Amino acid sequence: MEERDLQLVLAWRNHPDVRCFMFNSSEITWDEHVAWFASASRNARKHLLVYESDDVLLGFVNFSELAGRVVEWGFHAAPQAPKGTGKRMLGLALEYGFTQLRVHKVSAQVLEGNPRSLALHRRLGFTQEGCLREQHCDGVGYQSVYCFGLLAHEWRIAREQAKTA
């Protein structure tokens, strides 16, 4: 992700169809977004990526390194992105994470109110590792948070099986 991508990524992030699935569903201001980008850009443990297809930006992925080559990711596709964008974008992001960053594990937390993300993690081969019941207050009520993980060797096996299918 580069500075020139900021305005578009912020517009996606603040779109009602995207932010309703965020842990922080408030609108982000331009100044907050610029400050976040400046901080993340200086942090070697953060990896901010944009996904494009046919020279059109369609999504954003964020890897945050935890410890021991474990990362947590977050992502969102452009609200008007074509069907299948998420799976393609995240497949490439996993390839990058496991081959370029050489991570051992990608972990994720997904709100129960986001069934598309829950299903997508399962389709990508993630294992549900737990459920934090009614962990997140969204201002209206409480939502459970599902915890997922994908290990490097699991990803390699799934990738090889996909090639032979």
Q: 137-142 long-range CB contacts below 8 Å, 24 or more apart?
A: 138/25, 138/111, 138/113, 139/25
**What confidence score (pLDDT) does residue 98 get?**
98
Question: At residue 25, what are phi and psi to the nearest 5 degrees?
Answer: -90, 10
**What confidence score (pLDDT) does residue 25 get?**
87
Question: What percent of the chain has a predicted confidence (pLDDT) above 70?
Answer: 99
**What confidence score (pLDDT) does residue 165 get?**
67
Q: What is the number of alpha carbons within 13 Å of residue 95 lying toward its C-beta?
A: 9
Give the whole-angstrom CA distance, residue 93 versus residue 61: 7
- Contact predicate 104/116, CB 8 Å: no
Burial of 61 by CB count in 10 Å (0-12 exposed, 13-18 middle, 19+ buried)?
buried
Question: Over the stretch 101-111, which tens digit does the pLDDT of each residue have?
Answer: 999 999 999 99
Host domain of residue 98:
3-164
**What confidence score (pLDDT) does residue 161 get?**
82
Q: Please, which pLDDT band fits residue 7 given cuts at 50, 70 and 90? A: very high
**pLDDT above 80 (res 69):** yes
Q: pTM of the full predicted structure?
A: 0.91
- Contact predicate 121/149, CB 8 Å: no
Question: Over the stretch 117-153, which tens digit does the pLDDT of each residue have?
Answer: 999 999 999 999 999 999 999 888 999 999 999 999 9
Overall number of domains in the chain: 1
**What confidence score (pLDDT) does residue 156 get?**
93
**pLDDT above 70 (res 96):** yes
Question: Over the stretch 8-61, which tens digit does the pLDDT of each residue have?
Answer: 999 999 999 888 788 888 899 999 999 999 999 999 999 999 999 999 999 999
**What confidence score (pLDDT) does residue 48 get?**
97
CATH of the domain at 89: 3.40.630.30
Question: At residue 96, what are phi and psi to the nearest 5 degrees?
Answer: -60, -45
